[in-house]
A and B are shown apart, each in its own frame.
Chain A
Amino acid sequence: LAKTTQPISMDSYEGQEVNITCSHNNIATNDYITWYQQFPSQGPRFIIQGYKTKVTNEVASLFIPADRKSSTLSLPRVSLSDTAVYYCLVGDANTGFQKLVFGTGTRLLVSP
């Protein structure tokens, strides 16, 4: 199982760009990188997923360097409602999500 390491917490202000980096040194060839967002007392919500280079959707961007040993979730112009815990997961979902591990995530606090 690919182990991931993320900062425990981050602070930001409204309107700023936030970048959360996840380290996954032993990522396997078939592994994808997926980020989830979780608000208190709610289930995690899928944000973005990628395999290599850059992926962008309406919510975030995901930057993955060539060696794939890390990835960076970028949230443009955060608002107060982006305060949440963000999880980075690495794995081959084709073999089943039971192999994916949710760590403690990164707790992002956005202030006015």
Chain B
Amino acid sequence: DGGITQSPKYLFRKEGQNVTLSCEQNLNHDAMYWYRQDPGQGLRLIYYSQIVNDFQKGDIAEGYSVSREKKESFPLTVTSAQKNPTAFYLCASSEGETQYFGPGTRLLVL
């Protein structure tokens, strides 16, 4: 079954803690993306990667970091520098004119 998986579905972060959200795809897509969605809002781009070992900041990269060591994986770390991390995080990959999204991870702060 081809697609994008994200884990965990829910994640709790303590203040000052770094947490990592997983995103894996078996669609063989070169490009991958991370978005943040706040309640009632659209998606905002955090980071994107168009090819392995390369990634670029999106519109709201501060407080986040990523890596792209493998084509199928694009993990996102929410660092302690992100002061308002509570949100719904969506990973996506793309080929041609279409973007495919994972099921999302909801991050909550304890």
CB distance from A48 to the nearest CB of B (A): 10
Residue B63 at the chain A interface, CB threshold 8 Å: no
Which residues of A lie under 8 Å from residue B35 when comparing CB positions? 102
User: Are B90 and A43 touching (Cβ within 8 A)?
Assistant: yes
Main secondary structure on B side of the interface with A:
strand
Interface string of B67-99 (1 = CB under 8 A from A): 000000000000000000000101010101111
Chain A: interface residue total (CB-CB under 8 A): 21
Q: How far is the CA of A98 from the CA of B31 in the complex (A)?
A: 10
User: Are A41 and B101 touching (Cβ within 8 A)?
Assistant: no
User: Are A97 and B40 touching (Cβ within 8 A)?
Assistant: no
Q: How far is the CA of A103 from the CA of B40 in the complex (A)?
A: 10
Known A43-B103, A97-B31, A97-B92; contact A49-B43, beta-carbon cutoff 8 A: no
Residue A112 at the chain B interface, CB threshold 8 Å: no
User: Are A46 and B42 touching (Cβ within 8 A)?
Assistant: no
Known A32-B97, A93-B97; contact A98-B48, beta-carbon cutoff 8 A: yes
Q: Which of A43, A49, A104 contacts B102 (CB 8 A)?
A: A43
CB distance from B48 to the nearest CB of A (A): 5
| Given A34-B97, A98-B45, 4 further pairs, Cβ under 8 A | A42-B103, A44-B43, A46-B99, A94-B97
Residues on A facing B (Cβ under 8 Å):
32, 34, 41-46, 49, 87, 93-94, 96-98, 100-105
